[in-house]
Structure 1
Amino acid sequence: MAQRLVGCLLAVGVASLATACKERSDKPIAGLLAAGAPVLRIEGKEQRTVAVGAQLLGDVTLTATGPAVLEYFGGGLRFLEKGDTLEVGDAGEAKLHGSNLPPRRWAEGGIQEAQRVPRIVAARYTNVQVTPASAHEDAYSSTQYFVAFFTPNGLQNLGSDTRHDGPHQPLPAPPFRPKVPFIHAGDLGEGGLVAVVDDGFAVAETDDLATAVLLEGREVPLGRTVRLLVPDGSEVILKGKDGTEVEVEGPVDLRLR
C-alpha cells in the first residue's frame, strides 16, 4: 500500500511539473523586417518594444502602433497597421514557401517582370528580441539607437544595469568596422530615385540591410535602396532625376538593383 501511495504521489508530481513547464512552440518563426512605429510584444500585462531585425517565435503576440511588416522564414510577408494584434505563428503567411508579393524589377526607367529570387530569410535576423529598458528613458540618442539595434552578440547577454548596455570597447574606425550583418532600422542614404507614397505606406530595404517605412505624403530619396515593398492597396510614385514619374501599385516586391 505504501509503495502504491508513493507511486501515485510521484505520478502527480511529474504531471504537475509537466503542466507548469510550458513547451517551446514549434510554430513558424518570423522576423520584424521594418516598423514605422513601435511594434509591441505582449508579455502578460507588460508590453515591450520589439527591435527591428529581431527573430520572433510563433507563440509571440504582437500589437502594432503603426505600419510594420513581418517576414516569415518561409518567405511570406505580413503587413501590419495601427491597432493590429497578431500571434506570429497564426498568420496565413506563416505557411507560405516563397514571397506572397509579385516580383518586379526596375529597368530602363520602368517596371518589368522578374523571376522570384530564392533567399535564406533566417540568416537576415538576429536573436535580439526587444529593446533594452534603458532605451526608453529619454529620446533616442545615437548611443541608445546603437544599443537597441546593433549590440554585438544579442541583448540577452547584457545585464540589467544601464552601464552594461552596448559595447565595452570602442569600435574600430572604418573601413575596418564590419558592416551590420542583420536587418536593422536605418537611413536609406541620399540620391537615387525619389519615392512619394500616394496612398498607404511602403517599405524600403538597402544593400546593407537597413530598412525604413515610407509614410504617405512624404518625398523620400531612396539612396541605397535595393528592394521596395508595396502592400496591397498602397500606391507609390517613383520620380527620376530627369523628371519622369512612374506609378507603382501594390502588391509588389520591386527590385531596384
Structure 2
Amino acid sequence: MAQRLMGCLLVAATASLVTACKERSDKPIAGLLAAGAPVLRTQGKEQRTVAVGAQLTGDALLTATGPAVLEYFGGGLRFLEKGDTLEIGDADEAKLHGSNLPAHRWVEGSVQEAPRALRIVAARYTNVQVTPKSAHEDAYTSTQYFVAFFTPNGLQRLGSDTDHEGPHTPLPAPPFRPKVPFIHAGDLGEGGLVAVVDDGFAVAETDDLATAVLLEGREVPLGRTVRLLVPDGAEVTLRAKDGSEVEVEGPADLRLR
C-alpha cells in the first residue's frame, strides 16, 4: 500500500513538474493594433520597438511608453497605458473568443447597438515584430515613426517542377502585384466626422487598415475611419458637418460605416 502511495505521489510530482516547465507556444497569438508612443519588447538585455501591425507570440514581454492597444487573434482587445508591462500570453484577453468591447454602429447621427463583427484577426497582421534599429531614437520625435516597418516581397516561386503546387512563373513586379492589406500606422484622411477625446484616449482604424491613437484634448478629422475603439472610462465627442455632437462613452467598439 505504501509503495503504491509513493508511486502515485511520484507520478503527481512528475506531472506538476512537466506542467511547470511547459514552454509557451511560439505561434503568434496577438498583434499590435495601434500605438500612440513606442511599445518596447524586451529581448535579452535589449528593448526593441514593436512595429504597429506586428504579430506577437505568447512569450513576448512588452512595455508601453504611451497609450496602445493589442488585438488578440481570438478577438479580445487589451489597452495599455504609459508604464504598463505585459507578457502577451498572461493577459485574460488571450483566452477570449470574440471582442470584449460592446459593439455599436453609427446610424444617421446616432449610436446604436449592433451585433459583434466577425473577422479573421490573424490575417490582419504581419510576421515582422520589431522596427529596425535605425528607426529608434531619432524617429520617436518624427512623424515618420508611425509608418509600417515592413516591405512585403509578395509570393515567391514555390518550385520549378510540374508536381509542385504554387505559381511557376514570376509574379509581376510592384506596383502591378496585388497588395495584401495589413494593419499599419498611418494617416486617417481628411473630412468626415471630427472626434474630440474628452477623457482618456481612443483608437481609429480606416478602411485600408491604417490606425492611429487619438489623444485627449485634440480635434481629429476621422477621414476614412470605419472603426473607433473607446476604452472603458474614456469619453469621445463626435461632431458632424452640421455641428451636431454625440458623446460616446467607453467601452465601445463603434462602426462608422
TM-score (ref. length: structure 2): 0.79
Contact 1:41 1:48 (8 Å CA) reproduced: yes
The answer to whether the aligner puts 1:130 opposite 2:123 as a matched pair is no
Contact 1:135 1:145 (8 Å CA) reproduced: no
Structure 1 position 149, deviation (Å) = 2.2
212 and 144 in structure 1: CA distance in 2 versus 1, 3 angstrom threshold = closer
TM-score (ref. length: structure 1): 0.79
Equivalent-residue separation in structure 2 for 1:251 and 1:139 (angstroms): 32
Please list the CA deviations of residues 56-108 of structure 1 after superposition, one character each: whole Å capped at 9, or x if unmatched.
00011000000000000000000000000000010000000000000000001
| Amino acid across the alignment from 1:111 | V
Give secondary structure in 2 for the equivalent of 1:203: strand
Runs of 5+ consecutive residues of structure 2 not aligned to the other structure: 1-21, 155-172
| Amino acid across the alignment from 2:43 | E
Residue equivalent to 1:9: none
Contact 1:198 1:237 (8 Å CA) reproduced: yes
Give secondary structure in 2 for the equivalent of 1:149: coil
Residue equivalent to 1:164: none
177 and 211 in structure 1: CA distance in 2 versus 1, 3 angstrom threshold = farther
Equivalent-residue separation in structure 2 for 1:128 and 1:186 (angstroms): 17
171 and 61 in structure 1: CA distance in 2 versus 1, 3 angstrom threshold = same
Runs of 5+ consecutive residues of structure 1 not aligned to the other structure: 1-21, 155-169
Equivalent-residue separation in structure 2 for 1:119 and 1:138 (angstroms): 36
Residue equivalent to 1:14: none
The answer to whether the aligner puts 1:183 opposite 2:194 as a matched pair is no
Equivalent-residue separation in structure 2 for 1:142 and 1:177 (angstroms): 28
| Aligned counterparts, 1:231-242, within 5 A | 231-242=231-242
Contact 1:228 1:255 (8 Å CA) reproduced: yes
Contact 1:51 1:130 (8 Å CA) reproduced: yes
The answer to whether the aligner puts 1:229 opposite 2:208 as a matched pair is no
27 and 94 in structure 1: CA distance in 2 versus 1, 3 angstrom threshold = farther
Please list the CA deviations of residues 84-140 of structure 1 after superposition, one character each: whole Å capped at 9, or x if unmatched.
000001000000000000000000100011011111000000000000112226447
Please list the CA deviations of residues 152-179 of structure 1 after superposition, one character each: whole Å capped at 9, or x if unmatched.
149xxxxxxxxxxxxxxx953xxx5755
Aligned length: 217
4+ runs of 1 displaced by more than 4 Å?
140-146, 176-180
Contact 2:128 2:150 (8 Å CA) reproduced: no
Residue equivalent to 1:253: 253
Contact 1:53 1:124 (8 Å CA) reproduced: yes
Residue equivalent to 1:208: 208
